[in-house]
Structure 1
Amino acid sequence: MKSMLIKNDEEIKKMRKVGKLAAEVLDMIESHIVHNITTEEINQICHNYIIKKQKSIPACLGYNGYPKSICTSVNDVVCHGIPNIKQKLKEGDIINIDVALIHNGYHSDTSKMFILGKPSILSKRLCHVAQESLYLALNLIKPNMPLYEIGQAIEKYVKKQKFSVVKEYCGHGIGKNFHEEPQILHCDNRDPGIILKPGMTFTIEPMINTGSNQVRCMKDGWTIKTKDHGLSAQYEHTILVTDKSCEILTLRKEEKIDQILNINNKNLKYTQ
């Protein structure tokens, strides 16, 4: 049976630190997301900040051959978009920036959506639903709940909003390793094998599409796009299961929610 590693107090301290650093990268880069900036320029700004300012390591760089320090997924790119000097952001674009760090031997992983200028009604609503689906899942987490209830709740909410959940890519355990067991599915999958326990750390990162949930991998071997060319959006947090609920290790300054959630918290607000 697959199982999650339970982190001890010293490991949790390190996870809090690296989670805070990852969140700071997304806070920092926001002011740089402007018209005509290239995704490679965004990558370089983040890389320099991680290496020089934070004295940390970009976990994506070189991971299974990935060539850049962050992922930049624009419009119909679902995930793993590779920064490119020829790709300039333009009015109305939506972009997910995915940041993963290594600090003091431990990993953290987080992402958020940015919107260029005035968005379409559809793209704004998509980003809203993607973030709300993550917040819904965070609010559910508590010890002794079955892991499958996370994906079940996300897919139920997203379908109600007339969008779809990508099933091929998912969240994951995280700690000393970038990806640990088990997979955190964002769809209804009633596998009773995993029960949440205090000390578990993992990511939740639902990828939501405007149309079909079908995806395709591009020739670069990394970039994943929607098969029907519809838009896609994603939000991601690294979390710690606590004695009562969960702690968001990658909480950003602009988020209007508590870092340590209360059970049945009704105050999770969309912040885009």
Structure 2
Amino acid sequence: MKRLLLNKVLGTVGDSINDTEYAVLLDLIDHIDDLQTYSIREAAKNNFVSTSSISRLCVKLGLSGYSELKFHLKNQYEILQSTRSQNTSSIKQSAHQLKGVFQQNFTKTIETIDENCVNQTIQWLKKSSRIMVCGSGISEIIASYFTQRFQIIGKEAWLVDLSAPGGIYINHLAKSDLMIVFSRSGESSYILKKTTIAKRQGLNIIAVTSNKESQLGQLADIILPIHGSTEPLDVSYNITTYNSMAILFVDLLLQLYMEAIDV
């Protein structure tokens, strides 16, 4: 149950918390049964941090202070216990948990959308004769999805093969005028190399990432932020909805593009 609570909390903040704050959070959840009497000074002492460090953790979680953090954790824990006591299957528990995280991240993504950036993206998509699309790892799957969705409606789009010889990349680059880059962390060396070359060739760069302050963000002309973790703190257990959100965002861009060309 404590692991479920940890997953739920981490899913809402991604990797905005550091390793020290992660350790504090683990400690607080471990003391969930006597949390109300567990003072901030005790927590700071047991985790070798200052009370101000714990206060900063509260801010990152969107809470006003330590008292609200304790209430929030206790309340979420009781909700999970209540769900389990109602004999909800583990499959449904996980599904409902993921649904909650997805809804929160979707809301945060929508709230952070800069409409001017989205409108400019649509205009560039309309004017571009050929689009390069790039991503590595799981982001390559999202990039492939974007490429195929736009190819279906007749837009010439090309998925960058990161393993292809440089000469092939340069030849395709010379025929393109826009580059869409998908990268959750924005720090992939493969992505940065390809993007840097495209930038030098004068292509407009649009980055879809959860890390606006990344090196990719610095290269991009437009950043379309997706709320979600850049790297899971716990690869085995932490839930991140970035990939699902990015796919949904591709569909949103497609919808807006279709509406724009119908005008």
The verdict on a shared fold, with TM-score over 0.5 as the criterion, is no
Of structures 1 and 2, the larger Rg is shown by 2
Structure richer in strand, relative to its length: 1
Structure richer in helix, relative to its length: 2
What TM-score do the two structures reach when normalised by structure 2?
0.30
